[in-house]
Structure 1
Amino acid sequence: MTKKRSSNRPTIADVAERAGVSAITVSRALREPQKVSSELRRAIDGAVSELNYVPDLNARALASSRTDVVAVLVPSLTQHIFSDVVRGIYDGLEDSGLRIELANTRYSAELEEQLVFGIMRHRPAAVIISGTEQTARTRKMLEAAKCPVVQIMDLTDDPIQKIIGFSHERAGLEMTRHLIEAGYRRIAFFAGWMNARSLQRHGGYRQAMEEAGLYDPDLLGQRSNDNPEFSRGSRQDFHQFSSTVMGRELMLEMLERRPDIDAVFCNNDVLSLGALFACQAKGVAVPQQVGIAGFNDFDFMAAAEPPLTSIRIHRWRCGFEAMKAVQGQLNGEPVGEPVVDLGFEIIKRASTDRNGEVAAAAQEAPPLALS
């Protein structure tokens, strides 16, 4: 007679007996299904289904020093930026036997610290965490973690273990240079609020403007980081602090205060769309009077009229590559290159086409073949 625990819950030994294999083989098949044959996997899956067996994750963690959980910490679950990243992470799972647990840090280093503390108690298989702005305590916990740790969506010369992302400062620099090369001179910078990434992008903007002798601090449009609603912890409602409505308001204010501006570089795409609406409401021609550029290159940028210039970042690929790096390390591969720069692209569209270069290139392109 098969032995069961006092709770009458089936054990891994029960599954092994039903499938006609060893308990070690069952454990391997459940933890890493890709490492057993499809025939064995079918037999074990059938036994699991018949017995209604549910693995004891706590026992597994004690036995293996880790769970099969990859903890993923991102600052928002509502922004397309991070939903695309998370989609890439899930697409990278394949049949690894790993599972994802998401945590929303809400742009708070303090909350991130609390979440990491809780995560470390459960012995994760790996940690994927957005950014480099961890507190000293968070970094110390992650450095001591006996598992792969991959930072994403940023770059640093001093990653915890490995980082996959791009330079926000370099992106800000190159976009501003594009605007200057297009003939714009009084270029504003719009930000909903100045978080770490915004500051880096503004740093690149400022460097390009200073190089050209054009920098003017009066051309910064933003909302105060001391907004009382924000300080009360409304970070889950981040769209309130970076929205199309805000972009429209910032542009209307800038046109009132500095009617001489001839371009605006927006910290993200929703702000740039709002800036376009403001120009249209005021009869300001884009790109002839004011050029507009954004950051992230969401699909609505190409659909706007005129289409809006933006910086394309590789969100899905960042998540996918992070998951692949985790799997590689868990399979015994070395960490490899600690800093992986995925780069970015300046997508030039009509909203900054003051010299007609984009239009000319479009005319020279061969016509699409129709079948």
Structure 2
Amino acid sequence: MFKHLQPFGDSATLVPRFLFGNCLMTSKNDKNTRTTGRPTLNEVARLAGVSPITASRALRGVSTVATELVEKVQLAAAELNYVVNPAARALASAQSHSVVVIVPSLSNLLFIETLEAIHQVLRPKGFEVLIGNSHYSRDEEENLLRNYMAYQPRGLLLTGFDRTESARRMVEASNVPCVYMMDLDPNAGVNCVGFSQLSAGETAAAHLISRGRKRLAYIGAQLDQRTLLRGEGFRRALQQAGLYDPALELLTPRPSSVGLGGELFLQLLASHPDVDAIFFGNDDLAQGALLEAMRHGINVPERVAVLGFNDLPASSFMVPRLSSISTPREAIGRRSAEHLLTIMAGNKIAKPVVDMGFELQVREST
């Protein structure tokens, strides 16, 4: 599974080695055994009856290694209680086998789906996926990048474009291959895979307007750049239709949740009882609104239409079933990882900006 970046250990765990020309050699006195007594890759290879390089590839999950050899190596490693030393591996190969992925949350299901897809692409190629959680903080992301760069990762997968100037310069100066996920920026000159948050917001407004709604509100939480862009798209469409009222925007930096959605839903209706449609910046907020509507006898969509975003798995089972904008989280993770593999191999991406689109799922709540 996924691995959080851990220190590679102190130098005492490394095999004494000498560099002769282009050959990395082990001291004869070492006998391929660390002074700590810990089992080595060479010992695993001998027990499995394979070469050290085959043992290394098998343990990294490289797909070209025969299944029967992988099983032998895994059994040998288990018998010896062998644990991979990333520092020794990087020293021996003169390059890291890690890819750093930074997402804003590990409690949000949509990023879990993206991470699973990334892992499925990178792991068979022998790469370790090191996950950083920025908690929607630009400063925390900068600190994560600063720490991870010290270990010379082979590649980076970053979420969106909202980061500190120092973090931006750090990524550019590192020359580490990088792909940006979730957002698109055709003018940035970078590789990115995602969809237009602005267009998604515009689509939400167009759908609710097509249902004859006149008093449309937007409720957003967390207030990361993507949430704000969705709200901006929604606002633009309402302005063009002559239906925009700034009083019907309810935004809070609090973390998005089902409970918060219900709270903000009741707060909005209490202050603006004439609201007849609400677009929520995330499905968990909209789910909370539906639960509170049921609890207070507020008819949806007759009294007020409710539209969510991201189409989380539970949304199609709500009462009424929640209309939502479905986003391709898994496909974005897969394509981003595939692009990163291409770049790390020294090749250029023919189409650096990939719009994966989104889909409006119309159900009973609108």
TM-superposed CA distance for 1:333, in Å, is 3.8
TM-superposed CA distance for 1:102, in Å, is 1.3
Matched, 1:350 2:350: no
SS in 2 for 1:33: coil
Cα offsets for 1:292-346 (capped at 9, x unmatched): 1011111222112221110000112222222222333334443332111111001
Give the match for residue 134 of structure 2: 105
Over 3 Å counting, the alpha-carbon distance change for 1:3 and 1:248 in structure 2 is closer
Matched, 1:289 2:303: yes
The answer to whether the 8 Å contact 1:165/1:340 transfers is yes
Give the match for residue 319 of structure 2: 305
The answer to whether the 8 Å contact 2:61/2:123 transfers is no
TM-superposed CA distance for 1:53, in Å, is 4.7
CA distance in 2, matches of 1:58, 1:212: 59
Output the amino acid matched with 2:256.
Answer: S
Over 3 Å counting, the alpha-carbon distance change for 1:64 and 1:262 in structure 2 is same
Give the match for residue 329 of structure 1: 343
The answer to whether the 8 Å contact 1:159/1:339 transfers is no
Give the match for residue 187 of structure 1: 216
Output the amino acid matched with 2:113.
Answer: D
Output the amino acid matched with 1:118.
Answer: N
Cα offsets for 1:212-260 (capped at 9, x unmatched): 011110111233x4xxxxxxxxxxxxxx632222222222222222221
CA distance in 1, matches of 2:35, 2:255: 55
Matched, 1:170 2:199: yes
SS in 2 for 1:189: strand
SS in 2 for 1:147: coil
Give the match for residue 69 of structure 1: 98
Give the match for residue 119 of structure 2: 90
Query: Which moves more between the two structures, 204-213 or 274-283?
Result: 274-283
In structure 2, which of residues 130, 152, 166 is the aligned counterpart of residue 123 of structure 1? 152
TM-superposed CA distance for 1:131, in Å, is 1.4
Query: Which moves more between the two structures, 46-55 or 113-122?
Result: 46-55
Give the match for residue 248 of structure 1: 262
Cα offsets for 1:77-114 (capped at 9, x unmatched): 11112111112222223522211121110000001000
- Once the two structures are superposed, the pairs formed by residues 145-156 of structure 1 within 5 Å of their partners are 145-156=174-185
Give the match for residue 139 of structure 1: 168
Give the match for residue 236 of structure 2: 207
SS in 2 for 1:295: strand
Matched, 1:339 2:353: yes
Give the match for residue 17 of structure 2: none
- Structure 1 residue ranges without an equivalent (≥5): 226-239, 353-371
The answer to whether the 8 Å contact 2:123/2:129 transfers is no
SS in 1 for 2:185: coil
The answer to whether the 8 Å contact 2:300/2:365 transfers is yes
The answer to whether the 8 Å contact 2:283/2:312 transfers is yes
Over 3 Å counting, the alpha-carbon distance change for 1:203 and 1:6 in structure 2 is same
Query: Which moves more between the two structures, 203-212 or 95-104?
Result: 95-104
TM-superposed CA distance for 1:32, in Å, is 6.8
SS in 1 for 2:124: coil
SS in 1 for 2:183: coil
The answer to whether the 8 Å contact 2:62/2:123 transfers is no
Over 3 Å counting, the alpha-carbon distance change for 1:335 and 1:64 in structure 2 is farther
CA distance in 1, matches of 2:343, 2:76: 31
Over 3 Å counting, the alpha-carbon distance change for 1:276 and 1:62 in structure 2 is same
TM-superposed CA distance for 1:190, in Å, is 0.7
Over 3 Å counting, the alpha-carbon distance change for 1:33 and 1:243 in structure 2 is closer
Over 3 Å counting, the alpha-carbon distance change for 1:58 and 1:308 in structure 2 is same
CA distance in 2, matches of 1:14, 1:242: 50
SS in 2 for 1:351: coil
Give the match for residue 368 of structure 1: none
SS in 2 for 1:343: coil
SS in 2 for 1:349: coil
Over 3 Å counting, the alpha-carbon distance change for 1:187 and 1:242 in structure 2 is same
In structure 1, which of residues 55, 60, 74 is the aligned counterpart of residue 89 of structure 2? 60
Cα offsets for 1:257-283 (capped at 9, x unmatched): 222111111111122122223433444
